[in-house]
Structure 1
Amino acid sequence: MDPSIPCGTTTVSLSPGEGSKSAKVPHICIVGAGISGLRCASVLIAGGVQVTIIEARDRIGGRILQSDELGYTVDLGPNWIHTSGGNPILDLANATGTPLHIWNEKLQVFDHDGKAVDDETAKRLGELRWDIIEEAMRHSKENMHSINKDDSLGQWFEQRVADMKVSEYDKKVLIGMAEMWGCYIGDSIYRQSLKYTWLEDCCSGEESIVCSSYAAILAETARIPLKSANLLLKRNVVRVSSNENGANGQGITIGLESGENLTFDGVIMTTPLGWLKRNEVAFQPSLPSALREAIISISVGHLEKVYITFSTAWWKAGREDEYPGYTNWVSPKYAQETNPQGWPQEAYDLAAFPAPHSHPTLLLYLYGDCSAYVSNLVHKLSTEEQYRALATFFEPYYSRLPNYDRGSKNCKPAAILATAWRFDEFSGNGSYCNFQVGIESADKHVEALQIGLPHSHIWFAGEHAAPLEEMGTVAGAYLSGERAARSVLEQFSSTLQWSAT
């Protein structure tokens, strides 16, 4: 649809022979062209609704974004598919021929002193870690109403490990390994609510990583909206006002930073949770207390990624077929100059991908305070300064991999690429919702966002309004767009049925 088509309610003719009659086809605004907004648009278009998508960026996709700065394409945003059966993103990956990879079960772990944990112990402790986390999820769901709101997943883990009949060394390493659960929620396990740990159950199933990128998945999701919706890029929404001028007596005026005011019959806000937190005053009149409380209470995580690429995968030499795909450096004591807080690190070996997607690259995920530190470096420094600072920060970890030689050019990073979503206002200055200690009624808060304000013709979508079994995932964002669209179609069903007769 041509972007020059004016916004508002479109008048269409009814069936032949009734030319003197007309019906108003609902015109719905979707704020945000991420995967939830695009999926929402597809469902609405299929239902006969006119759709305008308003996006603040100069592109679609939201946090689904690629970079070619390393000489090949990598995802700066999500690159995992966290569950298997019934996952629409998995279906899209298969339909688009997007290659997926499942890591081997081998892992290598370096203890607090930087010494390699033997393979058998690492595997045993890795299995124990997941057993305890899955037990915490069951305990959380079954005892939600009796668990203290200030209890954390980290406390639960420490208590379970304290009772185990393993060595003190194993206990210490196991707790250190558990801290990497923070990469699933974007924050420390000591800030994660035990009471609502069950809302993260989506991350406990089989996991695949995309070998190429999410580009084909995004393109397929966007195919119908790009053809049939009115897409307005580089339009920053600053106000959402309810009025009485739309179909069924209710209209919505969207105020843009440019001063434009566009009127619709309803709006679906797919903006990230962090954006809603920072723009509460954009809603006029104010949102009801239940929605305001939900937006305030659910937390925003901070997950960042760092790609460190080399000229060759030197760490695999002699072990190409059996090298572990995952490495964990538990809270290091040996990097006091660069990491006095002892933030743990993890890396995935992208050289394990099948050709042509294999690259001599380590992909590291950072969360919480560590991600804040690194993203601040990325945000403040020039490209050359970033390289030096990041190489210095991560060298204590990759230097412990097999075959490292400080004097070898092969062991010097060829390039480093890091994200800084924390400083992206249109991503809500963060990534992924989570449920921190102190939160009460988290499931009710999510439900409030899922329902929205149908009688005021305002709905919400995004990973923070996802089905409970898919909270904080791309699949959850996609499904939330579906849910919101169906709610809109139900709200306008009588109008749509009349216009179709």
Structure 2
Amino acid sequence: MSSPTPHIGIVGAGVSGLRCAEILLNHGFQVTILEARDRIGGRICQSDKLGYRADIGPNWIHQVCRHPIVDLARETNTPLHPWNDKQNIYDSSGKLLPDDKSDRLSSLLWQFIEEAFTYSATHQNEISESDSLYDFVKSKAEEHIKEQEDVELLLQMSQMWGAYVGDQVSRQSLRFAWMEECCGGGEMFVESTWEAILGEIAGIPLEKAKVCLGEKVVNVQTSSRASEGGKVTLSTEKGETFLFDEVVMTTPLGFLKRNKGAFEPVLPQRLLDGIDAISVGHLEKVYITFPTAFWVDAPSTPLAPNLSPQERAKAEDTFPGYTNWLSPSYSDATNPSRWPAECWNLASFTPPNRHPTLIFYLYGESSAYLTTLVHRKSTEDHHNLLNSFFKPYYSLLSNYDATSPDCEPKAILSTEWQKDELSGFGSYCNFQVGVKDAAENVKAMRFGVPEQRLWFAGEHTAPFEELGTVAGAYLSGEGVALRILDGYGVNGSIN
């Protein structure tokens, strides 16, 4: 590496920026991170509102084979929860479907989704831009299921895909469904929080980089690599300027969409097209915690006293991990659009992470409605409005008693990412009907503008198999760092 030491500016102290910084620092580069928030972590953050600490950012790891985030979880002793294979499905009248029917239809649904991934990957150029994943599932259901009632139930169940991509299944592009295939892999839930994993990723950057919090970048002036001694100038909202040899932008895609004018000279058209073409989802969640997990029955027989905490938790994990209320017709006062509801049972975790809590996921129109409904409301109004919305659903669970204080929510926590400017008013990237060439759009963002010393990282520039995930953000930062090292003639290695 030639002297002087290259100075790399990284905009954003989320997972992608921290991972990029770690690799560059390990190879002797100078790194400064500018972060608009007053903390590191980006969308990894927590709240204590429930009476215990809970993640308001990511909860899930969607692959459980060789995987960088799984490895970090194991290194930091972060407990991961494998969900049981049980589920409760309530039909539109509020009646619980028989286990055999819900299991059969669920198996068929996942079979059709997996077939959609394969069809999308192998027939991409033949699929219309207007075709949705829902269209494919509907055609398969009508082809393979005789009873029209079951066809309708399966199509209603297919709405759960929205919780993976942050929008309605009818808006998910079939042509590029293969780019969401990571959502069909194994699923693990972080039982505690992501704090230890983030701490491990941030360790070296916090020790060796200059980390400037509260520095929102508002202007990026790049210079041609052909110009000797050229620099990239970053200007912040506070009026400060920073000069760097290279700059890596790790701001969320939604933020880029609204701040394309911050770049001088204007970004290349291929990159502008990519930023415009890829959509941003609107995934939110609502935690509802109760005095006790009233819906969980005690084991029918006493458990052996010598069981380990993990063995005891597994033996006690008898309540379905997943519950889905399909197109509810019985809650028109609060949900006239009949958006489905779904939740996961956090009372199945291993102590001390076991809590009498249900976590509901919202997406698309329902998340927009509820987030707006409670935005800037008082604590009491926030609680009452959300409780009124979700009560028709949790009141159908086992052992619910309207007169029991154990069945009255103790605390409710909801996210508002679509009200967060620095998150780009949304969650993460997805690929909606109408997109013409999502793969090339992602490649354009991933490639960046190296001829202008400008690079991009984040979940929206990740390897295709990890788009929209924390692992994708991590790998994107890693990939950009290795390309920068290569540009300076440094043989990069990954630690």
TM-score, normalization: structure 2?
A: 0.94
Decide whether the 8 Å contact of 2:297 with 2:319 is kept in 1: no
> Which residue type is aligned with residue 341 of structure 2?
Q
Q: Is 2:64 aligned against 1:68?
A: no
Question: 1:8: which partner in 2?
Answer: none
The one-letter amino acid of 1:331's match is S
Shift of residue 375 of structure 1? 1.1
Check if 1:420 corresponds to 2:400. no
In the alignment, the residues of structure 1 paired with residue 227 and residue 48 of structure 2 have an alpha-carbon distance, to the nearest angstrom, of 46
Corresponding position of 2:57: 77
1:273 partnered with 2:253: yes
**Is 1:228 the equivalent of 2:208?**
yes
Which residue, 372, 385, 405 being the options, matches 2:381?
385
The corresponding residue for 1:10 is none
- For residue 33 of structure 1, report the CA deviation from its aligned partner: 0.3
Q: Give deviations 1:310-352, integer Å, cap 9, x for gaps.
A: 0000011346542111100011111111001111111000001
Q: Which whole-Å deviations, capped at 9, do the CAs of 1:178-200 have from their partners, x for residues lacking one?
A: 11100110000111100000000
Deviation, structure 1 residue 437: 0.3
Are residues 459 and 321 of structure 1, via their aligned partners in 2, closer, same or farther at CA, if it must alter by over 3 Å? closer
Q: Structure 2 vs 1, CA of residues 198 and 244 (structure 1 numbering), >3 Å: closer, same or farther?
A: closer
1:217 aligns with 2:197: yes
Contact 2:431 2:438 survives alignment (8 Å): yes
User: Contact 1:106–1:324 (CA<8 Å) still a contact in 2?
Assistant: yes
Q: In the alignment, what sits opposite 2:26?
A: 46
Aligned to 1:6: none
* Paired residues of 2:132 and 2:169 also in contact (CA < 8 A): yes
386-395 or 153-162: which moved more?
153-162
- TM superposition shift of 1:260: 1.1
Q: Distance in 2 between matches of 1:244 and 1:264?
A: 13
Counterpart CA distance in 1 for 2:226 and 2:296 is 63
> Residue 174 of structure 1 aligns to which amino acid in structure 2?
L
Q: Letter of the aligned partner of 2:425 in structure 1?
A: N
Q: Is the 8 A contact 1:454 1:491 kept in 2?
A: no
How many aligned positions are there? 476
2:4 — aligned with what? 24
Distance 1:103 1:248 in 2: 56
Partner of 2:305: none
Q: Which amino acid aligns with 1:33?
A: A
Distance apart, 1:248 and its partner CA = 5.4
Q: Tell me, what secondary structure is at the counterpart of 2:396? A: coil
How far residue 245 of structure 1 moved from its aligned partner, in angstroms, is 9.4
Task: Tell me the equivalent position of 2:149.
Answer: 169
- Match 2:114 to one of 98, 113, 134: 134
* Superposition deviation, residue 23 in structure 1: 2.0
Partner of 1:18: none
Contact 2:286–2:414 (Cα < 8 Å) also in 1: yes
Q: Quick one: which amino acid aligns to residue 435 of structure 1?
A: F
| Alignment-derived partner of residue 409 in structure 1 | 405
Q: Is the 8 A contact 1:246 1:265 kept in 2?
A: no
Instruction: Give the Cα separation in 1 of the matches to 2:203 and 2:146.
Output: 54
SS at match of 2:247: strand
Distance 2:200 2:431 in 1: 32
Choose from 433, 444, 448 the match for 1:448. 444
Checking the alignment, whether the CA contact within 8 Å between 2:455 and 2:480 is kept in structure 1 is yes
**Letter of the aligned partner of 1:86 in structure 2?**
R
SS across alignment from 1:231: strand
**Alignment equivalent of 1:337, drawn from 330, 333, 348:** 333
Identity in percent = 52
Give 2:297's aligned residue: 317
1:300 matches 2:296: no
Aligned to 1:160: 140
One-letter amino acid of the counterpart of residue 345, structure 1: A
- Could you list the per-position Cα deviations for residues 407-463 of structure 1 after superposition, in whole angstroms to 9, with x for gaps in the alignment? 111111001000000011111110010000000110001111111111111000000
* CA distance, structure 2, for counterparts of residue 481 and residue 170 of structure 1: 45
Match 1:398 to one of 394, 398, 422: 394
More moved, 159-168 vs 471-480? 159-168
**Code of the aligned partner of 2:469:** T
SS of corresponding position for 2:220: strand
1:121-150 alpha-carbon deviations (Å, 9 max, x no partner): 111111111111111000000000100001
Please name the residue that 1:3 is paired with: none
Instruction: Tell me which residue corresponds to 2:233.
Output: 253
Q: Is the 8 A contact 1:247 1:265 kept in 2?
A: no
CA distance in 2, matches of 1:90, 1:422: 28
Counterpart residue number, 1:439: 435
What SS does structure 2 have at the residue aligned with 1:369? Answer: helix
Aligned residue number for residue 477 of structure 1: 473
Alignment of 1:105 with 2:85, yes or no, is yes
Change (3 A) 1:242 1:162: same
Give the secondary-structure state (helix, strand or coil) at the position aligned to 1:61. Answer: coil
Amino acid at match of 2:85: E
CA contact (8 A) 2:225 2:452 kept: no
Amino acid aligned to 1:455: E
* Distance apart, 1:485 and its partner CA: 0.6
SS of match in other structure, 1:163: helix
**AA partner of residue 449 (structure 1):** M
Give me the whole-angstrom Cα distance separating, in 2, the residues matched to 1:233 and 1:437.
Answer: 38
SS in 1 for 2:33: strand
Residue identity opposite 1:182 in structure 2: G
Contact 1:24 1:247 in 2 (8 A): no
Secondary structure of 1:23 counterpart: coil
Please show how residues 347-386 of structure 1 align to structure 2 within 5 Å.
Answer: 347-386=343-382
Counterpart residue type for residue 165 of structure 2: I
Residues in 2 aligned to 1:116 and 1:82: alpha-carbon distance in whole angstroms = 28
Contact 2:224 2:453 in 1 (8 A): no
How far is the alpha carbon of 1:120 from its aligned partner?
Answer: 1.5
Q: Does 1:429 align with 2:428?
A: no
* Separation (CA, whole Å) in 2 of partners of 1:245 and 1:317: 66
Gaps in structure 2 of 5+ consecutive residues: 300-315
SS at match of 1:224: helix
CA-to-aligned-CA distance 1:8-43 (integer Å, 9 cap, x gap): xxxxxx9xxxxxxx9211100000000000000001
Partner of 2:454: 458
Quote the RMSD (CA, aligned, Å). 1.6
